[in-house]
């Protein structure tokens, strides 16, 4: 990827959306999920994206995660135009720069926590010893040292989400995309997960984009962007970690 020219001294955002529009369907059935969105996120930020159902927040996360492409407009990652990349190039960007955490834990049921965390490293072709060391370090980072051999059925919901987060960070991503990561958890487990995510942002410098409909979860972020009807309704700083 080749960065665009940038004025001397200017900091290129980690990611930037410029007039991004996303339309699903055609003709009278066309639905504009995003309407000329402008959004820039600097490296190291923790940004929460909020909005009602149908506001476009999940659509924008799919575009930022290279799981979808804009109908119009530009998506730049470290100054490179992602919308111009081939499908294979976008897959490589996901594999080497991005980590994903979803509402569903998406763990392999009969596979240990350690082996679940190793999966993205296996896809990269990392040697076994390197995979295991990185997976153990990731599990330690989310507070699961000693749970490496346990399968998902032997873990609580909060622990399963910690394994999912460990899997997402095992590859040392630049950007962590978390889509309703506490949606299946009770209040106490939700707070524990948000503490883990906030610590990864604070201590490891991982840029975090969090989609949530819960204000108390968004309070952990340093910045909150509200979407309404496919547009940015507000974008403001808050007090940061709850």
pLDDT score at 217: 95
Q: Crossing angle for the helix pair 113-124 and 87-97, nearest 10 degrees?
A: 130
Q: Position of tokens 């948000």?
A: 194
Query: In this structure, are residues 217 and 139 in contact, taking their beta carbons and an 8 Å threshold?
Result: no
Q: Crossing angle for the helix pair 128-141 and 157-169, nearest 10 degrees?
A: 130
pLDDT score at 10: 55
70: which residues sit within 8 A by CB, 6+ positions away? 17, 20, 21, 22, 34, 63, 83
Instruction: Quick: pLDDT tens for 103-139.
Output: 889 999 999 999 999 999 998 888 999 999 999 999 9
Query: In this structure, are residues 20 and 73 in contact, taking their beta carbons and an 8 Å threshold?
Result: yes
Residue ranges of domains in the chain, CATH in brackets: 44-67+87-237 (3.40.50.300)
20: which residues sit within 8 A by CB, 6+ positions away? 34, 36, 37, 38, 39, 60, 63, 70, 72, 73, 74, 75
Query: In this structure, are residues 178 and 208 in contact, taking their beta carbons and an 8 Å threshold?
Result: yes
Instruction: Quick: pLDDT tens for 5-37.
Output: 444 445 789 999 999 999 999 988 999 999 999
Give just the sign of the alpha carbon dihedral 51, 183, 45, 41.
negative
- pLDDT values of the chain reduced to their tens digit, one per residue, 242 residues: 444 444 444 578 999 999 999 999 998 899 999 999 999 999 999 999 999 989 999 999 999 999 999 999 999 999 999 999 999 999 999 989 999 999 889 999 999 999 999 999 998 888 999 999 999 999 999 999 999 999 999 999 999 999 999 999 999 999 999 999 998 899 999 999 999 999 999 999 999 999 999 999 999 999 999 999 999 999 999 864 44
pLDDT score at 12: 87
Q: Is the pTM of this model over 0.85?
A: yes
pLDDT score at 159: 96
């Amino acid at each position: 990827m080749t960065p665009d020219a940038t004025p001397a001294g200017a900091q290129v955002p980690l990611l930037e959306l410029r007039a991004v529009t996303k339309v699903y369907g055609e003709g009278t059935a066309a639905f504009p999920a995003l309407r000329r969105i402008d959004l820039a996120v600097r490296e190291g930020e923790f940004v929460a994206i909020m909005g009602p159902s149908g506001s476009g927040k999940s659509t924008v996360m799919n575009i930022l995660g290279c799981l979808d492409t804009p109908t119009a407009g530009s998506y730049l990652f470290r100054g490179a135009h992602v919308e111009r990349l081939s499908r294979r190039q976008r897959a490589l960007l996901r594999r080497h720069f991005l980590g994903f955490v979803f509402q569903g834990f998406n763990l392999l049921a009969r596979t240990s926590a350690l082996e679940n965390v190793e999966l993205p490293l296996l896809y990269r072709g990392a040697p076994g010893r390197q995979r295991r060391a990185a997976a153990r370090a990731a599990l330690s980072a989310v507070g699961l040292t000693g749970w490496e051999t346990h399968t998902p059925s032997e873990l609580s919901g909060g622990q399963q989400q910690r394994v999912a987060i460990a899997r997402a960070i095992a590859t040392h991503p630049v950007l962590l995309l978390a889509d309703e990561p506490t949606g299946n958890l009770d209040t106490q487990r939700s707070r524990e997960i948000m503490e883990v995510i906030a610590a990864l942002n604070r201590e490891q410098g991982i840029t975090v984009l969090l989609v949530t409909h819960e204000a108390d979860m968004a309070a952990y972020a340093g910045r909150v962007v509200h979407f309404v009807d496919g547009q940015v309704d507000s974008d403001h700083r808050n007090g940061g970690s709850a």
